[in-house]
Each structure stands twice: as structure tokens, then as C-alpha cells.
Homo-oligomer: A and B are copies of this chain.
Amino acid sequence: MPGRDRMNVTMQDVARHAGVSPQTVSNVVNGRSARVGDETRVRVIESITQLGYRLNQSARSLRRGRTGMVGLAIPTFDSEYYGALAQALNDRFAERGLRLVTENTGGAVRAEVESLASSHLDSYDGFVLALAAGDTPHFDRISIDKPVVLLGERALSSRFDHVLMDNEGGARLATRLLLKTGARAIVALGGVHDDEESMPGLRTRGYAEAHAEIGRDLDPALVLPSTFDAEGGHGSIRALIASGRRFDAVFAVTDGLAVGALRALADAGLRVPEDVQVVGFDNTTASRYTVPRLTTVEPSNEARAETVAELLVSRLQHRDGVLERRVVVHPASVVERESTRRAPSA
């Protein structure tokens, strides 16, 4: 291996080697074939490979004024739900020639919002913010001049495009199923008591609506706030069982919670779905391999990812044109598996 310099090979070097101008090399690299003759192009390409030339992205970005990267903020990498989401978005953006760069915000909403303000953001052309369940960040304080799409549970800010999941509708469907199959006392695991515009708030609202539809009263003691992981679900259900309160179904606001619930029910010797039915939310791959397999709400991640990419790209293209703010809600549906009983065919 010939000892070579630390210096990088630049377009100038290639140009010199091929006997053309740097601009022509640029044209070749960027596929502007209309501006370059066939012979010249071949010569340039040969020089590129011979010299081992690599384009300097920083220089390109500086000149072009954009980086070709889109940022994605997710609360954590270490979660199937967000993992799948990131993967789907990644593919959708790749199709459009954009690179998706994923950052984890560590779950704190504050970090999520700060990621909008921090210097990281400066290297992206646009940003996708997937929000964790929780409180409401103060978007209206921060100032941003780049396209942002929020991917979340509810409308959070009047300034950005949103792609939302139909939390309320999904929860309504899930709860309806439980009621139809004879449940009388349904726990809202991870639910909240205030009627708030948050992920658990909306899902709790759907749960309440399904009850209201058939004139059934709600027992507030069955609404169990919790963290949204398996650990929280496990602890909450164990405590509920220990308290002696009777229930015959669990609507868990996330699959993680449902997994923990299954665990706690198994610990207590309760059979699913005979003694207690369980429904989750999110249709994570884990939900297909629990014992018993989990009935859950499908959040249509693929479709949402596609919409997110579409919205963001259209904003990038109409950089200056004043597009109206858009809010897209994707419908949810229920996937019936083994943790619920079959609805009586009526």
C-alpha cells in the first residue's frame, strides 16, 4: 500500500487529473448529464475511482444550505414501539432521498422540546418529533424556522403539522369489545382520572365513551394510573388484586402494560381470558408472543410514517410558500387474539 497523504482528495484534484474544470466534476458527480459529454464523463469517473475521491458532505451542505438530513426525536430507543416507528420512518424518508437521523430524548418532554432548540437541530433540514405520553411541552415559546412534523397522540401545538393516532377511537373499539364479550368490571390500566388531552387521557376517554354508549356506569377505582411499561402494569395489577377489588377485564393503554398485567394475573393464578380478559394497545411484536396472545389495538404505524414523510417533504419543497397547517388522524383497529373471548355472534 503506497503511503499517501492525510490530505483528502478534492474535486480539484480529480479535475486536474481528468483535465477538466472542477465544475465539470461536480456535474458528473451530481448526474447533470446534460452538461457533460459522454467521453468526458467517462474520463472523470475513471479519475474518481483511481484517486479514490469522496465527496465532502460538509462542503456540499454549506454551499447548498441544506444537509439532506431529517431529525427524528423519540423518547427512547429501547422500546419496540418506537423502534418500529423509527424503522418505518427511516424507510419512508430513504425513498425520498433523505436521511433520517434518530436521536433519543430520554423520555423527558423537556428534552424533547429542547431538542428543537438545541444546536443539533441546526444540522437538519426538518424534524419529526415523536412524543412520549406525558405532559404538554411549551412549543409556543421556542422559535423554529424549519419544517417540523409532530407525530403523536394528540394535537399539541397550533404551529406545526400533526400526524395523530386515533387514540380515542381505538380505546373505544377495544372497550366495546370487552363489553360485548360480557365484561362487567373493566380496569383502565394506565388510565387517568382527569379528562386530559394526553395519550392516556384520550384512551381513557374512549374507554369512558364505550361505557356511556350502553349506559354503563364507570367505577373510578378501576382507573389505575401507572408508568407505561411492563413493570408498571405488573405492579398495578398485583396491587389491585391484593386490594381484593373484583374485576373481570383489563384495558391496558399500552402493550407494555398489558404484558405486565398478564404476568401479574399469572402470578395470582387467574386465567386469561376465562377469569380476566386483557386488551392492549399498539400491536407491538411482543404482543404476538405473550401467553396467551394479546388482543390489542393496531395503531397503523406504517400509514402514519408514510403521512409524516409526505407532509415533511412537501414543506421542504415549498420552503417559502405558505402552506396551511395540516392535521391528519389515522384510524385505529382492533386485532383479536387469545386474551379476549369471542364476541357472541349476534
- Asked if A119 is an interface residue, CB under 8 A from chain B, the answer is yes
Tell me the minimal C-beta distance from A261 to chain B in angstroms. 10
Q: Which residues of B contact A143 (CB under 8 A)?
A: 52
Which chain B positions have C-beta within 8 A of A212? none
Q: Is the CB of B118 within 8 A of A90?
A: no
B83 touches A87 (CB 8 A): no
From the candidates B52, B62, B76, B289, name the one contacting A59 in the complex (CB within 8 A).
B62
Give the docked Cα–Cα distance between A104 and B29 (Å): 25
Q: Chain A: interface secondary structure? A: helix
Within 8 A of B (CB), among A83-113: 83-84, 86-87, 90, 99, 101-104
Q: How far is the CA of A58 from the CA of B66 in the complex (A)?
A: 9
Instruction: Say whether, besides A56-B122, A86-B77, A117-B54, A291 and B263 are in contact (CB < 8 Å).
Output: yes
Is A234 interfacial (CB 8 A cutoff)?
Answer: yes
Chain B residues, Cβ within 8 Å of A49? 116
Tell me the complex Cα distance, A90–B54, Å: 27
- A residues in contact (CB < 8 Å) with B: 6, 29, 48-49, 52-59, 61-62, 67, 76-80, 83-84, 86-87, 90, 99, 101-104, 116-120, 122-123, 143, 230, 234, 259-260, 262-263, 266, 285-286, 288-291, 293, 320
Option from B61, B117, B263, B288 in Cβ contact (under 8 Å) with A29: B117
Taking CB as reference atom, which chain B residue is nearest A76?
B87
Q: Find out whether the CB atom of B77 lies under 8 angstroms from the CB atom of A123.
A: no
Q: Nearest CB to that of A59 among chain B residues?
A: B62
Contact B123 A58 (CB under 8 A): yes
Nearest opposing residue in chain B for A67, CB measure:
B58
Which B residues lie within 8 Å of A117 (CB)?
A: 29, 48, 53-55
**Could you tell me if A230 and B289 are in contact, using CB atoms closer than 8 angstroms?**
yes
Contacts of A291 in B (CB 8 A): 262-263, 266, 290-291
Q: Measured between alpha carbons, how far is A117 from B78 in the docked complex, in Å? A: 28
Does the CB pair B119–A54 fall under 8 Å?
A: yes
